[in-house]
Chains A and B, each alone.
Chain A
Amino acid sequence: MSSGEGSSQPSSKKSRQPKYSRFTQQELPACKPILTPGLVVTTFILVGVIFIPIGLLSLSASERVVEIVDRYDEDCIPSDQEKTAFIQSDKTNKTCVRSLTVPKKMQHPVYIYYQLDNFYQNHRRYVKSRSDKQLRNPENEDLTSPCEPEARVDNKPIVPCGLVAWSLFNDTYGFSVSGMNLSVNKKDIAWDSDKNYKFGSKVYPKNFQQGSLIGGGKLDEKIPLSEQEDLLVWMRTAALPSFRKLYGRIEQDLEANETITVVIQNNYNAYAFGGKKKLVLSTTTWIGGKNSFLGLGYITIGGLCLFIATTFIVMYLIKPRPYGDPSYLSWNRNPPGN
């Protein structure tokens, strides 16, 4: 009779010898990469060979982009007036006319962006101040709790609530070339996913901008949120404090040296926090907008790799080290008595 506890007695005569398998003996077939000079040089050259062309391509793509940037917030305000008071007042005439010269031919579509600098759309108070549920479904109109302090007006829920919507950008631009109006296409500037799912087609703006402090643009209460594309664009909060947002598209080519007249309604108050407002007209390529950084970066990395490959080859020729040579082992290297 064997005792129940401890059961240290070897059970019968069964061998406890572990079964042999390549796995348990840690002898699975494996690839053992070693950084041989061949491998190292190949790697570096390969990286160089791939990166430099990509860099050149992106650089040229970026160079092909034609871009007009015009900062207007400074000039569109009478210098004799206090900026904040001017912009906050309902009475003042905020129309401002700017003329831009097209440096090179711009093929359509020409994208119109407004650019804000020093505007922290990624500020945590700001980002959180919205109610996605409310935006999607008219039944959730009362779900305004995350929207404080822009949640309710006279105890009625604001739709869309929150700081993001409240601060909607409301400068407008009108374009004309030599007296001819350029039509601006403002359709499909927002993401389809936002239009179709995130913003409800049955949610209509309510009590919007009715509070004591007006933050920005107003909304037409007859149009559902899903069709208010400016709002949709605005509410895709930007990742960085300097950002552009799509305003619209000009669906015709702009010739070089043409002068474009822009009539700006300078409504948006960026003066309160030292923000900058810019109007941007830009064409686009596969790389996006004008940005040479990526191209330069790729070329630098590629060049560096090629340089290292050369260095390594030279070093290998000058002072080769035989691989796997036991005479390099530390206990063989130190002669005794040392």
Chain B
Amino acid sequence: MTTQQRPLLIPSPRTPGAPELPYTPAYADQLKSISENPKPSSGTGMDINSQVDNLSLPDNITLNSSSQRSNSSYQSRASGRNSMREVSFAGNSVRELNSGELGKKPMRYGSRAESEGLSMSQKEINDEDARFVYINDPVKTNERFEFARNSIRTAKYSIITFLPRNVFEQFHRVAYIYFLVIAILNQLPQLAVFGRGVSVLPLAFVLSVTAVKDAYEDFRRHRSDKIENNRLAWVLVNDNFQQKKWKDIQVGEIIKISANDSLPCDMVLLSTSDPTGVAYVQTINLDGESNLKTRYAKQETQMKNLEKEKISGLIKCEKPNRNIYGFQANMEIDGKRVSLGPSNIVLRGCELKNTRWAIGVAVYAGRETKAMLNSSGAPSKRSRLETQMNREIIILSFFLVALCTIVSVCAGVWLRRHKDELDNMPFYRKKDYSEVEADGNYDDYNYYGYGLEIFFTFLMSVIVFQVMIPISLYISMELVRVGQAYFMIRDTNMYDASSNSRFQCRALNINEDLGQIKYVFSDKTGTLTENKMEFHCASISGVDYNGGTAIDEDEQVGYSAQVDGQVLRPKMKVKVDPQLLSIAKSGKQADQESRVRDFFLALAACNTIVPLTTETADPAVRLVDYQGESPDEQALVYAAAAYGFMLIERTSGHIVIDVQGETHRFNVLGLHEFDSDRKRMSVILGCPDNSVKVFVKGADTSMFSVIDNSLNLDILGATEAHLHSYSSVGLRTLVIGMRELSASEFEQWQSSYETASTALIGRAALLRKVASNVESNLRILGASGIEDKLQQGVPEAIESLRMAGIKVWVLTGDKQETAISIGYSSKLLTTQMTQIVINCKSKESCRKSLDDALIVSQKLVPDSVAAHATGGSSEASPLALIIDGTSLVHILDSELEEQLFQLASRCNVVLCCRVAPLQKAGIVALIKNRTDDMTLAIGDGANDVSMIQMADVGIGISGQEGRQAVMASDFAMGQFRFLVPLLLVHGHWNYQRISYMILYNFYRNAVLVFVLFWYALFTSYTLTTAMTDWSSMLYSIIYTAVPTIVVGILDKDLSRRTLLKYPQLYGAGQREEGYNTTLFWVTMMDTVWQSAAIFFLPVLAYWRSTVDISGLGDLWTLAVVIVVNLHLAMDVLRWYWITHAAIWGSIIATFICVMIIDCLPSLFGYWAFFKIAGSALFWLCLLGITVAALLPRFIVKVFSQYYRPDDILIAREADKFGNLTALRNGEIELNPIFDPPRR
């Protein structure tokens, strides 16, 4: 690693905080690239793959896979949770210890350096790229560059800028520009087809609706901005802390924060109430992680009393950026240069916790804070249907151009044929006889020659036929999606009571994609499982204790401790094994008892958990909440507490543990944190009896190598057997060992530890070595089994998804064995499945195993079946592919990708274990780039962000691991099982509704255009419109808009019950049955027929009669509206009263509008409606048109439904007639295992 060779800026050995540590972990670059490229788009697939390829993966992966290869699955059973959390880098590893008797000065020891990798290497910041902050000198700081003030502004507009800016933003939509161009064209006198006012109407309508919506949203933002800006903070002014409004805070000012205050801006910590300069912050508002993070003030500033002695210094830091985990700066203070890293900065939006006060200097303020820079909205994606729709829109514009060309060419021909007559023709009168030209000829009036006349006719026809491109469709679609989102959010079946979270729609424009998903990529931890670790059983010196009884909330009080007259009780209760409990409680000094005690002591002590006490309703009782980055550790500490070893306090140098009612204080002499090489952690405790003990816990593979094999072979063997049985039931295991250090050993350790931690080069490696030295010759205490609880309803959900023809892939950072065991418990894998396992170390071996696997798969799944594999039918031997991250490194981004794809598409289940976050995105891209199938990624953690953004639909689980996944997602929900109602029910409905709506809107507008077109053929191609201008503009606003929106929101083909009972019905969306090119063309043919019926029936009936333009125009208007609405009525599947109101209401509204228009004497067609409607012929025409226009569609519908019923229709019939016997038969045929998810 090159960074190791780089010289340090300042070698300051005693400086707490370890940014000086030069060690950059192997995957720091990878992490950096994640944080820098938060949104890998599909276009950068190459990029991602190359990044994946470049990663030098942590050694553990290679080690692991080799061991897996040699011994099937026996050796590697347990693993620390930590190794899976590659990206949970926020947790700072450095612990401090007050060395008590051993040292006078406060000091911190640290052994893990991963987090520092994020501070990047110790690069010198260029002056141009830096901002200079003079501490406590805001005037000087701000004199050269005007840094942003701390007032924030999330509102987009002010009163003055609203109109121009909003209009400008709205015109970013191409559709609106089309609208605008048409409206402008219509303003030209030669082209004015419609009245000037009328032609602007639709555009104005749409713009104003959107503007009102935007204005309201902005108003709310203004309000919240105001509240935020006027909050108060203590700022150092003239050596006194005074209250200042947030908005007045400037960069360079010194700010004091008290406990539980939120931070007004990003600031570098100068000092805190803790003597060692530690501050705890909660970042829930920033990344949603609720655990506390430690931040440090530099020793150089921590010593100062800021109110008394004036501080001055210069911080040189990088320009504002959005990386909330990175910060790079150095500080010159008292002539010394100190480097600052991400652990020295606290960010706006965080809250100070557990620290009385903290003082810092503002470095980024207002909109330049990382929180504000990160507060961008959800990424916008485009739905599949909309993309396909654009294809048809292009066809429609070809239609439009074709119609316009026909009209204009015909007009040219007509002019040519009548060129001799034009001058005198009473209805043309080319010459203007009122003025005589000098040469005795007359001027042409409004005639510009054939070329221009044809051109003008063309433009005019574009204006007349403009609705061919259904712009109103875009608006209706948005409204419909809002309606759909409303229903999804309000669905009581998707409310998660445990996290009190509703379904969230973060992206509004891909609702219908939910109905077409073919691949689901799921994270495991926190998505399939609850990420709630529960201590399940323990094996202590070879004795298995797994008789944990269920917690009974009422009877069992659990363990509690008395401290200072108050009762402390752990927040969570754990099932306890009564036998183990009695052993733990007995004060005997027997061998087994003392081992049990040591075991629990190790559980309570060997961790990085911070206990927090919270008040309860009863003032005498306080709850202890264990905060930590690893849920495994939390589970272990809670377990220890339940057995009477309760961690009460953790400070810099000691921990306090209540052991069976007695409070013991242990000095924490050293702590070697978990790292992925050792895969274990250890703590060195100075016990009250002055002995020094080292407790180690870690993964079984790494622990057995450091356990003294000469001792207690029986215990070792028994423990191994227990470990095997634990992991086979899907438990996560950890092995715990300890030994006592002699005084000489301790001194030796201490000196080597200090040497290592002050070393200039290779510090991390040295520290690792120190740790390895002390973690040796351990005595085994036992092993713990922690249950990673599966979320409720996961197996049923996976079964439903599989029946729906959705392939579920699980991508996890876990080991192969864990992944497989979860696979079984979640019914992803079944015993009938043939498993293909690929874990190879080199490209060549990958190639070979892929080839072999392909041959096997071809044998098992013949091609013909593979094609149907998505249909959800159960084949004789389904395939499951299990592949690990190392192999994927070799396969992704190489020519082997294709083979993997071939193989994976034959498999029903794919499990990827040990995958890095970017590999997850790579796997999604593997499918996305090669097929048209829709992909959905679901995950809960920061490591799923790349995958969520890569997939067509990204779903975040608002669970334990913070909100980053949710922030990146399109939809968020509380539980994995909600995927079933979301896809099968809402997705299906959304797809059916939107796809029908698109087709209908195309049809609706095209009918009108064709009617206008036919009429153009009878006006010598001059585009006189028989319908009034108002009617043709109101057509898509009033006459026909409401029913399509109502139907688009409310209509549903099948009930929720049926959809859940037959997941296969989901296939309709996957096969694009609701919207495809065939349907489009069929619709268009229907359109031509209907428009012909509407137009020609009255033409023939009124041929050579006295009928006037307006009268016939009114007839056509009404006929079009009635036909179009009845067409919709014919397709409505469910008639609610709202549907009735919308459809019949629209028809009635049209009659009323037509009457009103014809009552205005200023308009051309005054009274025309009343004249024509007075004759029976009019009404007979309307009736005849309606029936004649809709008859073909009805006939086709009847016969196709009768002879080729699709699944949805049959299910609808069954739904309606409640054909019970038939349904029961169906169920037996389908799948007896299936148990519909609880409602």
Interface string of A3-36 (1 = CB under 8 A from B): 1111011100001111110001111111111110
> Of the 9-residue stretches A178-186, A233-241, A248-256, which lies at the interface with chain B?
A233-241
**B1213 contacts A215, C-beta separation under 8 Å:** no
CA distance in complex: A132, B1110 (Å):
15
- Neighbouring A residues of B1184 by C-beta, 8 Å: 294, 297-298, 301
B341-364 CB contact bits vs A (8 Å, 1 = yes)? Answer: 000000001010000000000000
Does B261 reach chain A (CB closer than 8 Å)?
yes
What are the residues of chain B within 8 A of A316 when measuring CB–CB?
Answer: 1202
CB pair B426–A163 under 8 Å, yes or no, is yes
Interface pair A54/B1136, CB less than 8 Å apart: no
- Closest CB of chain A to B824's CB: distance in Å? 25
Q: Which residue of B lies closest to A246 (CB)?
A: B1106
Q: Are A332 and B1215 in contact (CB under 8 A)?
A: no
- A40: chain B residues at CB < 8 Å are 1198
- What 0/1 pattern do residues 1107 to 1124 of B give for CB contact below 8 A with A? 111011100000000000
Interchain CB contact under 8 A, B427 and A58: no
Q: Please, how many angstroms separate the alpha-carbon atoms of A245 and B1135 in the complex?
A: 47
Q: How far is the CA of A242 from the CA of B1020 in the complex (A)?
A: 12
B184 interface residue, CB < 8 Å from A?
A: no
Q: Is the CB of B1134 within 8 A of A32?
A: yes
Bound complex: CA A330 to CA B1066 (Å):
12
Once the chains bind, are A125 and B427 in contact (CB under 8 Å)? yes
CA distance A286 to B666 in the complex (A): 109
Give the Cβ gap from B1071 to chain A, nearest Cβ, in Å: 10
C-alpha gap A323/B1213 in the complex (Å): 6
Q: How many residues of B contact A (CB 8 A)?
A: 128
Stretch at the interface among A71-79, A102-110, A115-123: A115-123
Residues of B within 8 A of A215 (CB): 426
List A129-177 residues whose CB lies under 8 Å from chain B: 132-133, 136, 148-153, 163, 166-167
- Do the beta carbons of B349 and A5 come within 8 Å of each other? yes
Q: Check B589 for interface membership: any CB of A closer than 8 A.
A: no
Residue B1166 lies at the interface, judged by CB distance under 8 Å to chain A: yes
Contact across chains for A336 and B260 when beta carbons are under 8 A apart: no
Asked whether, in the complex, the Cβ of A113 is within 8 Å of the Cβ of B1187, the reply is no
Which A residues, 198 to 246, have Cβ-Cβ distances below 8 Å to chain B?
A: 198, 211-213, 215-216, 236-246
Stretch of A93-101, A259-267, A304-312 at the chain-chain interface? A304-312
- A115 CA / B1105 CA spacing, docked (Å): 9
Q: Are B261 and A325 in touch, CB under 8 angstroms? A: no
B1177 on the interface (CB 8 Å rule)? yes
In the complex, chain B residues whose CB is within 8 Å of the CB of A10? 500
> Quick one: CB contact mask for A73-92 with B, threshold 8 Å, 1 for yes?
00000000000100000000
Q: Is the CB of B963 within 8 A of A8?
A: yes
Interface residues of B in 493-507 (CB under 8 A from A): 495, 497, 500-502
Known: A239-B1102, A291-B1101, A331-B873. A120 touches B1019 (CB 8 A): yes
User: With A8-B284, A18-B502, A293-B1101 as given contacts, are A163 and B427 in contact (CB-CB < 8 Å)?
Assistant: yes
Separation in Å of the B1177 CB from the closest CB of chain A? 5
State whether A330 touches B1207 (Cβ < 8 A): yes
CB distance from A96 to the nearest CB of B (A): 21
The reply to whether A287 and B434 contact each other, CB–CB distance below 8 Å, is no
Q: How far is the CB of A211 from chain B (nearest CB, A)?
A: 6
Q: What residues of A have a CB within 8 angstroms of the CB of B198 in the complex? A: none
Cα separation A119 to B1206 with both chains bound (whole Å): 54
- Chain B residue at smallest Cβ distance from A150: B429
Chain B residues whose CB sits within 8 angstroms of the CB of A34 once the complex forms? 1212-1213, 1216
CA distance A20 to B1020 in the complex (A): 61
B1183: which A residues are within 8 A, CB to CB?
A: 54
Stretch at the interface among B106-114, B484-492, B566-574, B769-777: B484-492
- Name which residue of chain B comes closest to A321, CB basis: B1202
Find the B residue at minimum CB distance from A61. B1176
- Give A298 to B486 CA distance when docked, in angstroms: 47
Within 8 A of B (CB), among A306-337: 308, 312, 315-316, 321-332, 334, 336-337
Interface check B1217, CB cutoff 8 A: yes
B1132: which A residues are within 8 A, CB to CB? 33
CB proximity of A133 to chain B, nearest CB, Å: 8
Q: Are A294 and B1106 in contact (CB under 8 A)?
A: no
Binds A, one of B236-244, B512-520, B832-840, B1219-1227: B1219-1227
Residue among B989, B1019, B1056, B1194 facing the most chain A CB atoms (10 A cut-off): B1019
Give chain B nearest CB distance to A217 CB in angstroms: 11
Tell me if A's interface is mostly helix, strand, loop or mixed.
Answer: loop
Whether A28 lies near B1136 (C-beta < 8 A) is: yes
| Distance A35 CA – B152 CA, assembled complex (angstroms) | 61
Q: Which chain A residues border B992 with CB–CB below 8 Å?
A: none
B1211 interface contact, C-beta 8 A? yes
Task: Known contacts A4-B231, A16-B500; decide if A151 and B1103 are in contact (CB<8 Å).
Answer: no
Whether B421 and A288, one on each chain, are in contact in the complex, defined by CB atoms closer than 8 angstroms, is no
Q: Number of A residues whose C-beta is below 8 Å from B?
A: 115
For B58, list chain A residues within 8 Å (CB).
none
Chain A: minimal CB distance from B4 (Å): 39
Chain B nearest Cβ from A280, distance in angstroms = 8
- Contacts of A324 on B, CB cut-off 8 Å? 1210-1217, 1219, 1222
**A197-B1166, A291-B1103, A332-B1229 are contacts. A237–B1062 as well, Cβ < 8 Å?**
no
User: Which stretch, B678-686, B916-924, B1022-1030, B1033-1041, touches the partner chain A?
Assistant: B1022-1030
Min CB–CB distance A216 → chain B (angstroms): 7
Question: A236–B1108 Cα gap in the complex (Å)?
Answer: 6
Contact of A25 among B492, B501, B1101 (CB under 8 A): B492
Are the CB atoms of A148 and B1135 closer together than 8 Å?
no
Q: A3-B349, A16-B501 are in contact. Are A288 and B1105 (CB under 8 A)?
A: yes
- Residue B371, interface by CB 8 Å: yes
Q: CA separation between A289 and B1105, bound complex, in Å?
A: 7
Nearest chain A residue, comparing its CB with the CB of B1213: A324
Q: Tell whether, in the assembled complex, residue B1135 and residue A211 are in contact, meaning their CB atoms are under 8 Å apart.
A: no
B1181 CB–A CB distance under 8 Å: yes
State whether A293 touches B1022 (Cβ < 8 A): no
Q: Is the CB of B1188 within 8 A of A297?
A: yes
Question: Is the beta-carbon distance between A244 and B1106 smaller than 8 angstroms?
Answer: yes
Q: Given A32-B1216, A113-B1106, are A5 and B224 neighbors across the interface (CB < 8 Å)?
A: yes
Chain B residues with CB under 8 Å of A198's CB are 1161, 1166-1167
Contact B285 A8 (CB under 8 A): yes
Contacts of B228 in A (CB 8 A): 4-5
Q: Which residues of B contact A166 (CB under 8 A)?
A: 426
Q: Which of B875, B1020, B1137, B1195 contacts A241 (CB 8 A)?
A: B1020
| Cβ–Cβ contact A17 & B497, under 8 A | yes
- Please pick, from A6, A16, A331, the residue contacting B871 in the complex, using a CB distance under 8 A: A331
B481 to chain A, nearest CB (A): 15
In the complex the two chains form, is B1105's CB within 8 Å of A291's CB?
A: yes
Partner of A18, one of B285, B495, B963, B1214: B495
Contact B1109 A127 (CB under 8 A): yes
27 A-B residue pairs with Cβ-Cβ distance under 8 Å, sorted by A, are A26-B1050, A33-B1133, A40-B1198, A119-B427, A120-B1022, A123-B1019, A126-B426, A132-B1164, A152-B434, A163-B426, A197-B1167, A216-B426, A237-B1109, A238-B1109, A239-B1113, A240-B1102, A269-B424, A269-B426, A273-B425, A274-B421, A289-B1104, A294-B1184, A301-B1188, A316-B1202, A324-B1215, A325-B1210, A331-B873
Give me 5 other A-B pairs in contact (C-beta within 8 A), A272-B424, A301-B1188 excluded. Answer: A4-B224, A120-B1019, A125-B446, A127-B1109, A331-B873
Binding site for A on B (CB under 8 A): 152, 224, 227-228, 231, 260-262, 284-286, 288, 349, 351, 371, 375, 418, 421, 424-429, 431-434, 445-446, 486-487, 489-492, 495, 497, 500-502, 865, 868, 871-875, 963, 989, 1018-1020, 1022-1024, 1026, 1050, 1052, 1056, 1062, 1064, 1067, 1097, 1099-1109, 1111-1113, 1132-1138, 1161-1162, 1164, 1166-1167, 1170-1171, 1175-1177, 1180-1181, 1183-1184, 1187-1188, 1191, 1194-1195, 1197-1199, 1201-1203, 1205-1207, 1210-1217, 1219, 1222-1223, 1225-1226, 1229-1230
